[in-house]
Amino acid sequence: MKLFADSGSDLPKEFYEQHNIELFPLRVQLNGNEYQDVKDINSKEVYDAMRQGVTPKTSQVSPEIFLNAFEELAKNKEEGLYIAFSSNLSGTYNTAVMIATQLREQYPDFKLNIIDSKCASLGCGLLVKEAATLRDQGVAFNEVVTRVDQLAKHMTHLFTVENLDYLAAGGRISKSSAFIGGLLSIKPILHVEDGRLVPLEKIRGRKKAINRIIEMMAERGGDFTNKIVGISHGDDLAFVQDVQSLIQEKLNPKSIEISMVGSVIGAHAGPGTIAIFFADKDYKEVLS
């Protein structure tokens, strides 16, 4: 089975290489140049540019990259699974489906399943990691698809940003709200609902926002002793380590995985973003 992921999954470059996962890079435009996310540029470079006042732009995966990868899969008569960044945040999923549909006219037996994860960042990344684990355990293709799809439906995202101006630049909030929020040190708590960003609460102060997120984790996640928690951050490892300690102390999860928010998502959320991911309390693992 061949696994595909895009750079909206925010896993380290080494993970894709070590686990034989083909990476589809979204694109980042910075200072007049275009880069393939992860392959040509890393998120630290993007955050450093943003701190200097540069506004990066992003675009979806090139259709040609999908065509080349999917056609090779079809010719080799392999089974493939692509876990895509939320279709409500990027056109990448829809482009992949269009390319796959065209290829099926030429290769009727083409076996590719494309999952619209409705997830972002490490929320999507945890799905990719689960798929890789199941594949390496020898789990059958159809069951891997079913189990990853089930987990995607129950993946919870909770996050806050350090600077509201980046959300305003992307049209997520108004510029006046960002200005007033900045003066009052307002930190929004957002989540992802049906693949879209949705604001939940506004809290004054970053530490209070994190404490409130951890309360929400307990409400939404229930018992964490057998759960993996993902934390991604906008180039602020020191604060993430504090957050990790708080989560460990209050919820005692099975494990905590940390990564940096990638270039594409980071270009809209900005430096200092903290995002937390876990399966909700209604998630029941699908067993064979």
The answer to whether residue 285 sits within a structural domain is no
Q: Which domain holds residue 96?
A: 2-153
The answer to whether residue 284 sits within a structural domain is no
pLDDT of res. 165: 61
d(CA 20, CA 191): 31
Q: Are residues 21 and 147 in the same domain?
A: yes
pLDDT digits (tens, 9 = 90+) for 262-281: 999 999 888 999 999 999 99
d(CA 87, CA 100): 16
Q: What is the mean pLDDT of residues 86-102?
A: 95
Closest by CA to 46, choosing from 265, 275, 257, is 265
Q: Are residues 178 and 144 in the same domain?
A: no
Q: What is the mean pLDDT of residues 204-217?
A: 93
What is the DSSP annotation of the chain? -EEEEEGGG---HHHHHHTTEEEE--EEEETTEEEEBTTTB-HHHHHHHHHTT---EEE---HHHHHHHHHHHHHHT-EEEEEEPPTTT-SHHHHHHHHHHHHHHH-TT-EEEEEE----THHHHHHHHHHHHHHHTT--HHHHHHHHHHHHHTEEEEEE-S-HHHHHHTTSS-HHHHHHHHHTTEEEEEEEETTEEEEEEEEESHHHHHHHHHHHHHHHH---TT-EEEEEESS-HHHHHHHHHHHHHHH--SEEEEEE--HHHHHHH-TT-EEEEEE-TT------
d(CA 123, CA 102): 29
Answer whether residue 208 shows pLDDT above 90: yes
pLDDT of res. 110: 94
Provide the CATH number for the domain around residue 259: 3.30.1180.10
Q: Are residues 65 and 146 in the same domain?
A: yes
pLDDT of res. 186: 72
pLDDT digits (tens, 9 = 90+) for 150-171: 999 999 999 998 766 665 455 5
CA dihedral (162, 26, 6, 272) in degrees, to 10, reads -10
Residue that wins the pLDDT comparison between 180 and 196: 196
Q: Are residues 184 and 198 in the same domain?
A: yes
pLDDT digits (tens, 9 = 90+) for 7-47: 999 999 999 999 999 999 999 999 899 999 999 999 999 99
The answer to whether residue 286 sits within a structural domain is no
Q: Are residues 217 and 100 in the same domain?
A: no
pLDDT of res. 164: 60
Rounded to the nearest integer, the mean pLDDT of the chain is 90
pLDDT of res. 28: 95
Answer whether residue 178 shows pLDDT above 60: no
pLDDT digits (tens, 9 = 90+) for 240-268: 999 999 999 999 999 999 999 999 999 98
pLDDT digits (tens, 9 = 90+) for 46-69: 999 999 999 899 999 999 999 999
pLDDT class for 288, splitting at 50, 70, 90? very low
pLDDT of res. 184: 45
pLDDT of res. 196: 84
Q: What is the mean pLDDT of residues 89-114?
A: 95
Q: How many domains does the chain have?
A: 2
**Which tokens belong to 152?**
């995607």
Q: Are residues 183 and 66 in the same domain?
A: no
The answer to whether residue 179 sits within a structural domain is yes
